[in-house]
Structure 1
Amino acid sequence: MHRQDLLQLLQNYHPKDENERKMVLETQVFVQQNSLCFERSLPSGHVTASAWVISPDLQQVLLMHHKKLDRWFQPGGHCDGDPDVRRVALKETEEETGAFGQLVGNEIFDVDVHLIPANAKEAAHFHYDIRFLVVADPATKPAANAESKEVRWVSMSDVPYYNSSESILRMQRKILASV
């Protein structure tokens, strides 16, 4: 997989609302204009990959409490040069939660562009997050790593109590609409 593969995935993806449609277009332009789009060293931003990990019955989602950002999110992270965003999403899920999941299809589940605030190590920059739907067994106890304070299976209906950002609620709505 390389930039053309990601661009093809984005071309085939059908966003659910106008806001997400704009972010898909932003991501396409960013990837087309930046040959180093998968590299964390690109100062303006970079492609990241994450997973919305759900239980087989669609009633639970796996969330992690991110140490640096002190908020609950889906597992995911930097591509670090790997253009295979599916592989990155699964790898990050395993590393950050201990969960071994399976992709639900090969297509994109969600796209989000968000600003990462400046910190002591880097200037503010954008993450162009490519998200995949992953199913995992909630009977397997999740395990936090150095990047997370805690990892927990959460009832799908309780997601807004953990993170009420539009980015997270959009993914929740997509699952609830399919139930």
Structure 2
Amino acid sequence: MKRKALIELLEGYAARWPGESETCERFLEFVRRNEDCFERSLQEGHVTGSAWLVNRAGTHVLLTHHRKLGAWFQLGGHADGESDVSRVALQEALEESGLSELSLLDEAIFDIDIHLIPARKADPDHYHFDVRFVVQATGSEAFQVSEESLDLAWVEIDSISDFTEEVSMLRMAGKWKGRLKLESV
């Protein structure tokens, strides 16, 4: 079963973040109900993979000014049939940043989000069931803006609210700051 690994990761996430139980339950129900949850063709919605891409020092996150959505977000994209969502997140980070030396910092899910993508051209509105992983730049931090972005920026974690008011982005910043505090103890 292609979905088994994701279901196990989501169950682990739910145990670590009980305050997000409603989102976790909705996400799990979607994945369990849809064998084709990793396919963009599933019109209700589909699984996507994203990267909370931090610099070597862990003080900044690379954000994209998303061309289609016109707002600042983490890097990420469609699974397109790939059930290893951490691989999707890493690949999207590589493609969208132009950075060649990246590594997955943790196998566990960092964050999840379910958000509505508005209708565009032939695509009706649909949901992205987004799975986010921490990815770290381990080499050069000189990025290249891809055609999917209007711009990219290394944003200091404490300054995220200067770029976005998106709840999930602020939540990830809070989680990251909490993680850094734990690591410094």
Query: Normalising by the residue count of structure 2, what TM-score does the alignment of the two structures yield?
Result: 0.91
Q: Counterpart of 2:51 in 1: which secondary structure? A: strand
Q: Counterpart of 1:149 in 2: which secondary structure? A: strand
Question: Is the contact between residue 55 and residue 138 of structure 1 (CA under 8 Å) also seen in structure 2?
Answer: no
Instruction: Tell me by how many angstroms 1:21 deviates.
Output: 2.3
Q: Counterpart of 1:121 in 2: which secondary structure? A: coil
Aligned residue pairs total 178
What is aligned with 1:36? 36
Question: Is the contact between residue 138 and residue 153 of structure 1 (CA under 8 Å) also seen in structure 2?
Answer: no
Question: Is the contact between residue 102 and residue 139 of structure 2 (CA under 8 Å) also seen in structure 1?
Answer: no
State the AA in 2 paired with 1:58: G
**1:140 & 1:61 partners in 2: Cα distance?**
11
Q: Counterpart of 1:145 in 2: which secondary structure? A: coil
Instruction: Tell me by how many angstroms 1:66 deviates.
Output: 0.5
How do residues 20-59 of structure 1 correspond to structure 2 at under 5 angstroms? 20-59=20-59
What is aligned with 1:93? 93
- Report the identity percentage: 42
What is aligned with 1:2? 2
State the AA in 2 paired with 1:174: K
Q: Counterpart of 1:173 in 2: which secondary structure? A: helix
Question: Is the contact between residue 40 and residue 80 of structure 1 (CA under 8 Å) also seen in structure 2?
Answer: yes
Instruction: Tell me by how many angstroms 1:164 deviates.
Output: 1.3
Question: Is the contact between residue 61 and residue 156 of structure 2 (CA under 8 Å) also seen in structure 1?
Answer: yes
State the AA in 2 paired with 1:11: E
Q: Which is worse superposed, 78-87 or 130-139? A: 130-139
Query: Normalising by the residue count of structure 1, what TM-score does the alignment of the two structures yield?
Result: 0.94
Instruction: Tell me by how many angstroms 1:17 deviates.
Output: 5.7
**1:175 & 1:84 partners in 2: Cα distance?**
23
Q: Counterpart of 2:145 in 1: which secondary structure? A: coil
Instruction: Tell me by how many angstroms 1:137 deviates.
Output: 4.3
**1:7 & 1:26 partners in 2: Cα distance?**
12
What is aligned with 1:79? 79
**2:56 & 2:37 partners in 1: Cα distance?**
33
Tell me the alpha carbon deviations over residues 79-107 of structure 1, each in whole angstroms, 9 at most, x when there is no partner.
00111101100000011111232111211
User: 2:145 matched to 1:156?
Assistant: no
- Note the residue ranges of structure 2 that are not aligned, 5 or more in a row: 181-185
What is aligned with 1:136? 137
Q: Counterpart of 1:43 in 2: which secondary structure? A: coil
Question: Is the contact between residue 15 and residue 21 of structure 1 (CA under 8 Å) also seen in structure 2?
Answer: no
What is aligned with 2:183? none
**2:81 & 2:33 partners in 1: Cα distance?**
16
Task: Please provide the CA RMSD for this pair.
Answer: 1.5
What is aligned with 1:174? 175
Instruction: Tell me by how many angstroms 1:12 deviates.
Output: 1.3
State the AA in 2 paired with 1:24: C
**1:28 & 1:62 partners in 2: Cα distance?**
28
State the AA in 2 paired with 1:124: D
